[in-house]
Chain A
Amino acid sequence: MTLLKEPDFGTPAKDGPASVSLEVDGMRVSVPEGTSVMRAAAMAGVDVPKLCATDRLEAFGSCRLCLVEIDGRRGTPASCTTPVADGMVVHTQTPKVAKLRENVMELYISDHPLDCLTCAANGDCELQDMAGAVGLRQVRYGYEGENHLDAVKDQSNPYFDFDPSKCIACSRCVRACDEIQGTFALTIEGRGFDSKVSPGAGESFMDSECVSCGACVQACPTATLQEKSVIQLGMPSRSVITTCAYCGVGCSFKAELRGDEVVRMVPHKDGGANEGHSCVKGRFAFGYATHPDRMLRPMVREKITDPWREVEWDEAIGTVARRMLEIRQRHGAGAIGAITSSRCTNEEVYVVQKMVRAAFGNNNVDTCARVCHSPTGYGLKQTFGESAGTQDFRSVAQSDVIMVIGANPTDGHPVFASRMKQRLRQGAKLIVVDPRRIDLVRSPHIEADHHLQLKPGTNVAVVNAMAHVVVTEGLVDQSFVGERCEGFDEWAQFISGTENSPEAVESITGVPASELRAAARLYAQGGNGAIYYGLGVTEHSQGSTMVMGMANLAMACGNIGRDGVGVNPLRGQNNVQGSCDMGSFPHELSGYRHVSDDAARKVFENLWGTTLLAEPGLRIPNMFDAAIEGTFRALFVHGEDIAQSDPNVKHVLAALGAMELVVVQDLFLNETAKFAHVFLPGASFLEKDGTFTNAERRINRVRAVMKPKSGRHEWDIVCQIATAMGYPMQYDHPSQIMDEIASVTPTFTGVSFDKLDEMGSVQWPCNEQAPDGTPIMHVDAFTRGLGRFVPTPFVPTDERSTRRFPLILTTGRILSQYNVGAQTRRTANIAWHQEDVLEIHSHDAEVRGIEDGDEVTLASRVGATTLHAQISDRMPTGVVYTTFHYPVTGANVVTTENSDWATNCPEYKVTAVQVTLAHPVSHLNGEAAADRELAVGLVD
């Protein structure tokens, strides 16, 4: 249910020309073949009463409210399940159907609580609406008969209640869980009068397989499934369309409020990325924005061991500016820099990088994409000419073969995963390349045709072997390659080498050669082949190489430049794509133009009235190295928690501790803030006006529903710092910042807030050549002209298992928590994940005397931490897995300095470790122990 009601046409739209003409209540309408009579009527402006039908679900025909009469046909067919026919004449309002509808409603109401006035759904209830629509005036059955009014509520889910006494058994919730979400957690138990909605096999919602996406709540026409927030706070009174601030899917939501209190977030049906669907995080976990932990006043301190002192904004901004200038004066312009946020808006990121380049006077700006998808930027730029994915999310609906490499979309990109699963249930083939048996390998009605369960660190060997098969077995799309690419002959010669054959790499990768050959053939010959990949590709010492390897494979098979194909990075954060687009890289200006590009630099120099450096600045890992060296002394950290999220935490903490000035702008006092001298309170997405860019290059509007709780907009704070440092920066509204971005960035020239308000969202490039944006890239030509094949020799990582550290640790995420958990740990999502655990295979556990739930020490050559073990057969032997959502786990204490050769993206996915039953820390002694106690205390 929702406040801002989008039109509901009753049944899904059908594709094709409007070739069938019919008459509904005297009005002519033409619709595509296969359209239901109900939808055709709605398109003619006639709303046929309905309860079980909604245009997000396939027709079901159970409520019997939508009956109509059709000339020449017997009886009163249900309009939702009756397809149109040419020349059909439909009557939706006749005495006969009116009487039948009234009778149906009488039956429903005879077994329904009559507490409308106190019901949470009062005013937002389709049952109420239909009672009015059919003119219900009496219930002749009375209320004394058998009924369900005593049915027990299920309040187990932290976000919504299930009240079966109000259920009309329309099955919308069951169908939503099946068709939209793809979890199949709900069913109708029993038959006839005993029919009831049941999660799982009679379990509670919380104990069932329900993933709390809210699709059932959204679909429910009554108050049966109702948000607890609506029950407690009442119906919202206004609605603002905005964009989720969690993952890179970028779901569009209606923030529904009473005053400026958010009552609920309802997925927006017209959202380009999500089309009305959501996951537990975006739908329900917004409470962090008003959590008591929110810091709302600026604070300063001289030393990081001093207590914080609250100050006014002017003093805080003045302190930052004064100290930055003073450090620059003493140590040079290269001694200061900033890290931008992948969670803040494009406009905020743009002004931070502008502050660094124009006010700080250097290129020492980097973004958290450094530690996740920077290899995507490098690899796709080298091969295709553009640092972004090639398709829109809708494209997956045309895929015949879907290859998921190093990604776990059901957890990391759940709304996109639901789309993918819809296509898979329709028959598309699935290849999963992952050391773990992720949920997608085998889930309801889906089974991977091939699960290549490779050893961590061998991605490039696998993709090379697949390409070897394609080339040596004559499966290359010669016409695509000949017309659209260059460098093929040299690459083909390289990839044909026997060292790249599946047989040669089998012992390295652990993937049987026959399985690999079959997967390669499927990808090459199965029709539209699409690759979706994540950090299991990029966070490796050959991350960039692997991205190029996938691009090579896609080009060789002609799988670029149309719907259903492509190379698609699943970018993790809500605006990591945007932060890259905005030039928050030490080597690139906005639009991915190198700082050495004189023409590009001139554009900014002219506009900004200053000279910019032509040499790259410090990347994040280099900032840490330089800080320890003593040459990098001040850092502005915008909306990032590098002390928790970056690898080799000991090194990061040493770097932070070495700096003279650390400024943190964030919602909460996070791990990094423990090393800060100035804390500037940030604003949540509910308080911001701006844009986010998601993984499909879709620029979405973010609209404030309340004023910033700190009293200042984040972009304004940054501008004031720059101004106080002597470089005036002033805007009246974020739309002006976007106008500036558009004026200097060729791929954004058509973008403006007005355009986004008009179109809803737009995918860049959006310019003269593509005024309505670009859903699919490289259609007629690659951005660089011809696609470039790049040889990708496999080089094993230096991080090998040894006798001392015989296991390999890989890390990842789960559905209910997000990144470092700063947001989700402050919501009821902790109900699903109270701590990070170590997943370990039963064999590895047994030889170590470890049982399920035991506390274990996870140690690498750089650090150790303790956490609880979970025996899991999802992991192969020799590989262990954990998440990094809780700072107390310190998962990144054990990850190392190894990184991608091209971009320095850390190799989070391969760390040699040992796991042992935990013991007290008793081996520390003397000064070393004191130092480490301090470090531990600071970390905690």
Chain B
Amino acid sequence: MAKRPPTVSWPSDSWIDMSHDEATEIRLINKIVVHFAYLPTEEAVIEVANHVSRFWDPRMKRRLFELVDSETKDFEPVAVAATALLR
């Protein structure tokens, strides 16, 4: 196969799929909630809070608190309750 010059490019803006625009913290905590959905709500809240406490760094937790206050509608209810527990 013939060598060709390297061509790496970013797509023009029209290619970018905007559906993945939500904040990382919202996306991640909602996914954690889904994982623990098999539990009764109270237990799920505790497990989600524990997971965030054990694995998220202080910056992410601070951002989580800010986002829950400002973008509550984007969070699963269990995520909101778990964040309250973390505070």
Cβ-based interface call for A596 (8 A): yes
A857-888 vs B: 1/0 string, CB under 8 Å? 00101111110100000000000000000001
B57 near A619 with CB under 8 A, answer yes
One of A618, A795, A835, A940 near B57 (C-beta < 8 A): A618
A616 near B9 with CB under 8 A, answer no
One of A586, A897, A904 near B20 (C-beta < 8 A): A897
A887-901 vs B: 1/0 string, CB under 8 Å? 010100100110001
Cβ-based interface call for A924 (8 A): yes
Determine, out of A273-281, A810-818, A931-939, the stretch whose residues face the partner at the interface: A931-939
B38 to chain A, nearest CB (A): 4
Cβ-based interface call for A617 (8 A): yes
B35 near A901 with CB under 8 A, answer yes
- B9 contact set on A, CB distance < 8 A: 863-865, 921, 924, 932, 936
Task: Give bound CA distance, A440 to B53, whole Å.
Answer: 42
A615 near B16 with CB under 8 A, answer no
One of B4, B28, B57 near A901 (C-beta < 8 A): B28
Task: Give bound CA distance, A855 to B2, whole Å.
Answer: 10
One of A622, A650, A795, A865 near B59 (C-beta < 8 A): A622
Cβ-based interface call for B37 (8 A): yes
Q: Which residue of A lies closest to B24 (CB)?
A: A625
B85 to chain A, nearest CB (A): 16
- A619 contact set on B, CB distance < 8 A: 55, 57
A835 near B1 with CB under 8 A, answer yes
A673 to chain B, nearest CB (A): 17
- A893 contact set on B, CB distance < 8 A: 8, 10
**Which interface class (under 10, 10 to 19, 20 to 34, 35 or more) fits A?**
35 or more
Task: Give bound CA distance, A795 to B57, whole Å.
Answer: 25
Task: Give bound CA distance, A306 to B87, whole Å.
Answer: 46
B8 near A890 with CB under 8 A, answer yes
Cβ-based interface call for B84 (8 A): no
- B28 contact set on A, CB distance < 8 A: 901, 904
Q: Which residue of A lies closest to B6 (CB)?
A: A888
Given contacts A855-B4, A865-B7, A936-B8, whether A334 and B38 have CB atoms under 8 Å apart is: no
Cβ-based interface call for A574 (8 A): no
A545 near B35 with CB under 8 A, answer yes
B13-47 CB contacts (< 8 Å) to partner A: 13, 15-17, 20, 24, 28, 31-32, 34-35, 37-38
A901 near B32 with CB under 8 A, answer yes
One of A494, A616, A896, A923 near B55 (C-beta < 8 A): A616
Cβ-based interface call for A631 (8 A): yes
Main secondary structure of the interface of B (DSSP, over half): helix
Q: Which residue of B lies closest to A363 (CB)?
A: B57
A615 near B10 with CB under 8 A, answer no
Task: Give bound CA distance, A865 to B5, whole Å.
Answer: 12
Cβ-based interface call for B70 (8 A): no
Task: Give bound CA distance, A940 to B58, whole Å.
Answer: 36
A616 near B38 with CB under 8 A, answer no
Given contacts A586-B57, A861-B15, whether A798 and B20 have CB atoms under 8 Å apart is: yes
Given contacts A795-B35, A861-B20, A868-B1, whether A334 and B15 have CB atoms under 8 Å apart is: no
- B34 contact set on A, CB distance < 8 A: 793, 795, 901
A912-927 CB contacts (< 8 Å) to partner B: 918, 921, 923-924
B8 near A616 with CB under 8 A, answer no
Task: Give bound CA distance, A191 to B58, whole Å.
Answer: 74
- B20 contact set on A, CB distance < 8 A: 798, 861, 896-897
Cβ-based interface call for B54 (8 A): yes
Task: Give bound CA distance, A363 to B55, whole Å.
Answer: 11
A817-876 CB contacts (< 8 Å) to partner B: 834-835, 853, 855, 859, 861-866, 868
Cβ-based interface call for A791 (8 A): yes
Task: Give bound CA distance, A102 to B59, whole Å.
Answer: 80
Given contacts A541-B31, A793-B38, whether A864 and B57 have CB atoms under 8 Å apart is: no
A626 near B17 with CB under 8 A, answer no
A607-647 CB contacts (< 8 Å) to partner B: 615-619, 622, 625-626, 631
A334 near B10 with CB under 8 A, answer no
A329-363 vs B: 1/0 string, CB under 8 Å? 00000100000000000000000000000000001
Task: Give bound CA distance, A798 to B21, whole Å.
Answer: 12
Task: Give bound CA distance, A855 to B49, whole Å.
Answer: 49
One of B7, B24, B31, B54 near A616 (C-beta < 8 A): B54
B26 to chain A, nearest CB (A): 13
One of A859, A901, A918, A940 near B11 (C-beta < 8 A): A859
Task: Give bound CA distance, A686 to B34, whole Å.
Answer: 48
Given contacts A798-B20, A864-B10, whether A901 and B31 have CB atoms under 8 Å apart is: yes
- A918 contact set on B, CB distance < 8 A: 7
- B53 contact set on A, CB distance < 8 A: 596
One of B17, B31, B57, B58 near A804 (C-beta < 8 A): B17
- B55 contact set on A, CB distance < 8 A: 587, 616, 619, 902-903
B8 near A865 with CB under 8 A, answer yes
A616 near B11 with CB under 8 A, answer no
- A853 contact set on B, CB distance < 8 A: 1
B15 near A859 with CB under 8 A, answer yes
Task: Give bound CA distance, A802 to B19, whole Å.
Answer: 12
A75 to chain B, nearest CB (A): 60
B63 to chain A, nearest CB (A): 9
B10 near A935 with CB under 8 A, answer yes
- A795 contact set on B, CB distance < 8 A: 31, 34-35
Task: Give bound CA distance, A805 to B11, whole Å.
Answer: 13
A616 near B57 with CB under 8 A, answer yes
Which 9 residue pairs spanning A and B have beta carbons closest together? Answer: A901-B31, A861-B17, A888-B6, A791-B38, A890-B8, A866-B7, A921-B9, A618-B57, A795-B34
Q: List 22 A-B contacts (CB under 8 A).
A: A541-B31, A615-B57, A615-B58, A616-B55, A791-B38, A793-B35, A795-B31, A802-B17, A855-B4, A861-B11, A861-B17, A863-B10, A865-B8, A866-B4, A866-B7, A901-B28, A902-B32, A903-B55, A921-B9, A928-B13, A936-B6, A940-B6
Known: A622-B60, A918-B7. 20 other contacts (CB 8 A): A494-B38, A541-B31, A615-B57, A616-B54, A618-B59, A793-B34, A793-B35, A793-B38, A795-B35, A855-B4, A862-B11, A864-B8, A865-B9, A893-B8, A893-B10, A903-B55, A921-B7, A928-B13, A936-B8, A940-B8
Interface residues of B (CB under 8 A from A): 1, 4, 6-13, 15-17, 20, 24, 28, 31-32, 34-35, 37-38, 51, 53-60
